Structure 1
Amino acid sequence: MADQQVHDALDSVPPQPPVLRWAEPPEGPVLVLLDQRRLPAHETELVCTDVPALVHAIQTLAVRGAPLLGIAGAYGIALAAARGYDVVEAAGLLEVARPTAVNLRYGVRLAADAHGRALAGGGTREQAAAEALEAARALHRADADASRRMAGHGLALLGELLPGGGHRILTHCNSGALVSGGEGTAFAVALAAHRAGELRHLWVDETRPLLQGARLTAWEAARNGMAYSLLADNAAGSLFAAGEVDAVVIGADRIAADGSVANKVGSYPLAVMARYHHVPFIVVAPTTTLDPTTADGASIEVEQRPGREVTDVPAPRSADAGSGGGVPMAPLGTRAYNPAFDVTPPELVTAVVTEVGVISPVTGDGIARLCAGARDGIVD
């Protein structure tokens, strides 16, 4: 009876609302976002009518996650063009909204270049706006396809590294459908393992200070009926020591030319513990996250977030849950160190999984081959 109740409860869960969609009401085109600051308590949509509103949504984490930021940036250019705003100015605002996630810059430039080519070719403003919108939609479709391919490659890799199934996967931050045009990056691999009957348990780091794991990954895991447990970030070491982790699988916001990986702060300590305990540390990211123009980890610009995100306890039911604010827990005037990301050196990364294949060991030459494969449209 209990199992039947669980199945009934899962069947009654409504489908996840679109994380991002383009809409054209009578008053003009808009970009509609699922407001991730309000999750899991409220599934609320946020309507952006111009680029400053979208920039604010990006900076306050209403929309977040490297692949989705690229998609949002592309649609932002389309929005500016469709509403007759200065596209060059819009691109400048969007590109610097969050500096670490290279996908944002990629998406902005993709749509801006499509817009510029249309104008240079003699197209009207309306035609140029249509080209920018099609570029955004094409990126959206491509990311969904990349998500599917990464899930397949990642599942195959887990099978090679961990024969026998029953994987116990530890993940950090949020890397599912909330960050993607599809089902995500790292979370998509865990979800593929779950659907294949190969996932024994998903360990979900809460991900301080903004609790993306607790608020978002746990929400996605519950919706998909996955066996999961939430843990405080500083409890991960005890899991490793107890032999309860078979693999760490995370996403990335930027991967440098040498294979250094920038991801949500707290990822690097997991890599160190994984190496000590002989546990695979796997990074899953689309090739749009690879940045051959950034030479190494030291060259990655790491975003510094407001100190209040550390000094205050977030209020998940408020619109500010994703940007700090809430109940102060530190003495007034306390200074905080709050990098949004840390950087894991390539020698601690077992493999990088992309839509065009897997590299292991992770080297600069391997990253260059992945970039070339993506550029040439070669898919394993």
Structure 2
Amino acid sequence: MRSVVWSNGCLTLLNQTVLPVKIEYLECYDWQRVAEAIRRLEVRGAPAIGAAAAFALVLGARKLAGLSITEFKYKLAETAEILRQTRPTAVNLFWAIDRMLSVISQLPENADTGAIIALLEQEAIAISDEDKAVNEKMASHGASLFTKPTSVLTHCNAGALATVAIGTALGVIRKAWAQGNIKGVIADETRPLLQGARLTAWELMQDGIPVTLITDNMAGWVMKNNMVQAVIVGADRIALNGDVANKIGTYSVAVLAKEHGIPFYVAAPISTFDFTINSGADIPIEERCATEVTSLGGNCIAPEGVQVFNPAFDVTPHTLISAIVTEYGILRAPYQEAIDQLYKIRK
């Protein structure tokens, strides 16, 4: 089930806010609707957000056909800036937007806007298609970490719903399951928006992979009782030193894994690495509205007027990470050196 589909000038998104109760598709014919979908988490997951933003720029460019190249570039840059502001932490969003804008940055002033729009569409399709190949490569590399039947814990959703294909962390799990090296998966519910309960559990059940759902505060006890032998999660941004931003609660899981001697793995494509920042201290952390914490399913669960702190992400220090799985292979400490090499490959 695809989360992001482009066809005949329409971007169709699987609405992840209503899963698993309802399967609903959103047909987006203008970039503003895509921006709203990203902001509302109707489409989510770093790679999926990047692909959606790329197609949003195509939709935006189509509305600008007929303008002079100067006006076209200016208006499209304005659209790009609004898209950047939808989710500040996931670096794939910025990577995809910058890649799209680079298509037109060097074009002459007499360039035809119709031809430019066609080039932008080609680039957005390339971003989407590349994500499929990247997912497969990551899955193959990551599956090599599992050489015998293993029970794993994962946090949030880093599967097909978060990407264009089979997923990052769940892609690894899917490949290792096919090879007979996954016994089952423990899925954290992932408060406050329950991506683990609503999305990861649903995805794994669709594939017939045994999954057990737990509340976030059960992870330590699960580890204490030897119910998992590894942890694998996705990422929204990775700094040069290997610090990783991921869904809130990931840091706690990493600390618990360290305490119990359990390897903690991260799976993420090169587009999730931010080569401009030195450490996790430089990663902007999105804070979301209080109602996500004070209500559940539309019902109030907290005293009216209570003060709320609702960061959407946290940062796991590189010292707690056993390995980072990428499409180029598996990175291990010292991460600064490994990521420097990755940067050279990217160049």
TM-score (structure 2 length as normaliser): 0.95
Q: Distance in 1 between matches of 2:114 and 2:95?
A: 23
Alignment of 1:35-74 (within 5 A): 35-74=15-54
Q: How does 1:43-122 map to 2 (within 5 A)?
A: 43-84=23-64, 86-117=75-106, 119-120=107-108, 122=110
CA RMSD, 1 decimal: 1.2
Aligned-partner Cα distance in 1 for 2:255–2:310: 20
Work out whether residues 350 and 362 of structure 1, in 8 Å CA contact, stay in contact via their aligned partners in 2.
no
In structure 1, how many angstroms separate the alpha carbons of the residues matched to 2:145 and 2:181?
A: 12
CA contact (8 A) 1:20 1:31 kept: yes
Residues of 1 paired with 2:319 and 2:271: CA distance? 22
* Match runs of 1:1-380 below 5 Å: 16=1, 18-24=2-8, 29-84=9-64, 86-117=75-106, 119-120=107-108, 122-159=110-147, 165-313=148-296, 315=297, 326-375=298-347
CA distance in 1, matches of 2:178, 2:221: 28
Structure 1 362/62 Cα, relative in aligned 2: closer, same or farther at 3 Å?
farther
Q: Which amino acid aligns with 2:80?
A: A
**Aligned with 1:46: secondary structure?**
strand
Task: Report how far residue 152 of structure 1 moved.
Answer: 0.5
Per-residue deviation at 1:19?
A: 1.1
Contact 1:111–1:133 under 8 Å retained in 2: no
What is the one-letter code of the residue matched to 1:222?
M
Check whether the contact 1:209–1:309 (CA below 8 A) recurs between aligned residues.
Answer: yes
TM-score (norm 1): 0.87
SS of equivalent to 1:157: coil
Contact 1:150 1:185 in 2 (8 A): yes
Contact 1:169 1:201 in 2 (8 A): yes
Q: Give the deviation of 1:31 after TM superposition.
A: 1.5
Residue 339 (structure 1) shift: 0.4
Cα distance in 2 between the residues matched to 1:79 and 1:115: 15
Q: Does the 8 Å CA contact 2:146/2:181 hold for their aligned counterparts?
A: no
Displacement, 1:295? 1.4
Is contact 1:76–1:108 with CA below 8 Å preserved after alignment?
A: no
Which residue identity does 2:37 align to in structure 1?
A
Q: What's the CA shift for 1:362?
A: 4.5
SS of equivalent to 1:76: helix
1:19-38 Cα deviation digits (max 9, x unpaired): 111232xxxx3221111111
- CA separation in 1, counterparts of 2:178 and 2:171? 10
Give the whole-Å Cα distance in 1 for the aligned partners of 2:176 and 2:236.
23
Give 3-state SS (helix, strand or coil) of 1:59's partner: helix
Give me the whole-angstrom Cα distance separating, in 2, the residues matched to 1:374 and 1:167. 33
CA shift digits 1:67-123 (9 cap, x unpaired): 111111111111111222721111011112100000000111111221334x43743
Matches of 2:124 and 2:46 in 1, distance apart?
A: 15
Distance of aligned partners of 1:362 and 1:94 in 2 relative to their CA distance in 1, 3 Å threshold: farther
Instruction: Give the distance between the partners of 1:254 and 1:277, measured in 2 at CA.
Output: 26
Alpha-carbon distance, 1:374 to partner: 3.1
Aligned amino acid, residue 183 of structure 1: I
Q: CA deviation at 1:199?
A: 0.8
Question: 2:70 matched to which residue of 1?
Answer: none
Unaligned runs of 5+ in 1: 1-15, 160-164, 316-325, 376-380
Letter in 1 for 2:245: A
Specify the SS of the correspondent of 1:31.
strand
Structure 1 moving runs of 4+ over 6 Å: none
Distance in 2, matches of 1:137 and 1:372, equals 25
Alpha-carbon distance between aligned partners in 1 of 2:181 and 2:78, rounded to the nearest angstrom: 48
- Name the aligned partner's letter for residue 365 of structure 1: E
Q: How many residues align?
A: 338
Q: AA paired with 2:91?
A: V
Counterpart of 1:348, as a letter, is L
Q: How far does residue 49 in structure 1 lie from its aligned partner after superposition? A: 2.2
Partners in 2 of 1:125 and 1:54 — Cα distance? 22
Q: Separation in 2 of the partners of 1:362 and 1:261?
A: 14
Deviations 1:176-231 (A, max 9, x none): 11111210000111111111111101000000000000000011001000011000
> Which amino acid letter does the alignment assign opposite residue 294 of structure 1?
I
